[in-house]
């Protein structure tokens, strides 16, 4: 083979770069479209909602417990007052009964204060919960829109990729098959710029400075026929001048 075979590789390399770029765009679509961030925000808010729910369960239990205690105090006071009315309490015990009633009533009033605090917390949590649910529903709708758009974009990329792959298959048929294998192996290893130009004495692939003897060697190899193309000592890329 000779230099003209290497020149064909530039077009192949161009197709490969486009293919790589398309595949990269396709695989990072979730991230680049913002879907990944929105999905993360939805997950975080759902976790918050779970925490709110467990706090809410605790507060509801506390509210019920306070209500029960309050009810039993009310019943106790009521029965003591009924006994007083019936005259079932001896004259001697009236003062202490009154004192007990008044103590029970002040306990009840304290329980009511506590219950009001709990109710305020419940109300606050309900508000937070409803705000979060609204945000989640907005974000889920946004996510669905983004992912719907992404699936269209992905199928466009997919079509471009198959078109380019078909072009590549046709084009690579015109390249020397031995050289093509060398190129493909190298391309799998270096990823981009499999064929590197030597400019100002540097390999454009890895920027290694070539000695003038090495440059002459490359030129000499390229001026005639060769079985293996000249490659960079450092990065292994095919060199072209």
Give me 102's structure tokens. Answer: 């008044």
Q: Shortest distance, CB of residue 234 to Zn ion, whole angstroms?
A: 5
x-marked contacts with Zn ion along 118-137 as a string, rule CB under 5 A: --------------------
3-state SS of the chain is CCHHHHHHHHHHHHHHHHHHHHHHHHHCHHHHCCHHHHHHHHHHHHHHHHHHHHHHHHHHHHHHHHHHHHHHHHHHHHHHHHHHHHCCCCHHHHHHHHHHHHHHHHHHHHHHHHHHHHHHHHHHHHHHHHHHHHHHHHHHHHHHHHHHHHHHHHHHHHHHHHHHHHHHHHHHCCCCHHHHHHHHHHHHHHCCCCEEEEECCEECCCCCECCHHHHHHHHHHHHCCCCCCCECCCCCCEEEC
Read off φ and ψ for residue 199, nearest 5 degrees.
-130, 135
Residue 22 or 186 having the CB closest to Zn ion: 186
Min. distance of Cβ 195 from Zn ion in angstroms? 11
| Separation of CA 45 from chain center | 13
CB nearer to Zn ion: pick between 142 and 208: 208
205 contributes a contact to Zn ion by CB under 5 A: yes
In this complex, which beta carbon is closest to Zn ion, that of residue 126 or of residue 185? Answer: 185
Instruction: Count the site residues for Zn ion by CB under 5 A.
Output: 7
108 vs 187, beta carbon nearer Zn ion = 187
CB under 5 A: which stretch of 5-13, 68-76, 84-92, 204-212 binds Zn ion?
A: 204-212
Instruction: Choose between 135 and 202: whose C-beta lies nearer to Zn ion.
Output: 202
Instruction: Please list every residue from 218 through 237 that binds Zn ion, using CB under 5 A.
Output: 232, 234-235
How many other β-carbons are positioned within 10 Å of the β-carbon of residue 154?
Answer: 16
Smallest distance from Zn ion to CB 173, Å:
28
| Residue of the chain from 11, 49, 104, 206 that contacts Zn ion (CB under 5 A) | 206
Give whichever of 108 and 237 is closer to Zn ion, judged by the CB atom.
Answer: 237
Shortest distance, position 209 Cβ to Zn ion, whole Å: 10
Q: Which residue stretch of 4-12, 49-57, 71-79, 200-208 sits at the interface with Zn ion (rule: CB under 5 A)? A: 200-208
Nearest-approach distance from CB 207 to Zn ion, in angstroms? 7
Please report, as ranges, the residues that interact with Zn ion according to CB under 5 A: 203, 205-206, 208, 232, 234-235
């Amino acid at each position: 083979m000779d230099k003209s075979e290497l020149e064909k590789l530039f077009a192949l390399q161009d197709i490969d770069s486009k293919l790589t770029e398309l595949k990269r765009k396709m695989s990072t679509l979730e991230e680049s479209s913002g879907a990944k961030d929105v999905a993360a925000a939805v997950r975080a808010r759902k976790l918050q909602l779970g925490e709110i729910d467990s706090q809410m369960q605790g507060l509801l239990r506390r509210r019920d417990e306070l209500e029960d205690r309050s009810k039993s105090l009310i019943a106790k006071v009521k029965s003591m007052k009924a006994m007083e009315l019936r005259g079932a309490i001896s004259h001697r015990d009236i003062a202490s009964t009154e004192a007990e009633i008044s103590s029970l009533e002040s306990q009840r009033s304290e329980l009511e204060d506590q219950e009001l605090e709990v109710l305020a917390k419940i109300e606050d949590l309900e508000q937070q919960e409803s705000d979060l649910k609204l945000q989640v529903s907005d974000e889920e709708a946004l996510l669905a829109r983004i992912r719907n758009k992404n699936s269209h974009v992905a199928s466009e990329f997919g079509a471009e990729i198959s078109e380019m792959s078909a072009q590549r298959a046709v084009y690579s048929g015109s390249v020397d098959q031995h050289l093509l294998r060398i190129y493909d192996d190298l391309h799998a290893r270096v990823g981009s710029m499999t064929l590197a130009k030597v400019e100002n004495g540097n390999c454009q692939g890895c920027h290694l400075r070539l000695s003038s003897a090495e440059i002459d060697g490359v030129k000499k190899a390229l001026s005639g026929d060769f079985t293996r193309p000249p490659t960079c000592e450092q990065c292994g890329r095919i060199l072209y001048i």
